Structure 1
Amino acid sequence: MPKLILEIETDLYRMLQQAARTNQLSLEDECMRRLEGGVRRSRYMEALLAELRADDAQRRAERN
Structure 2
Amino acid sequence: MKRISLELNNELLGMLSRSAQANHVTLEEECLRRLEGGQRRSSYMQALLADLRADDAQRRERAG
Q: TM-score range by the shorter chain?
A: 0.3 to 0.5
For normalisation by structure 1, the TM-score amounts to 0.46
For normalisation by structure 2, the TM-score amounts to 0.46
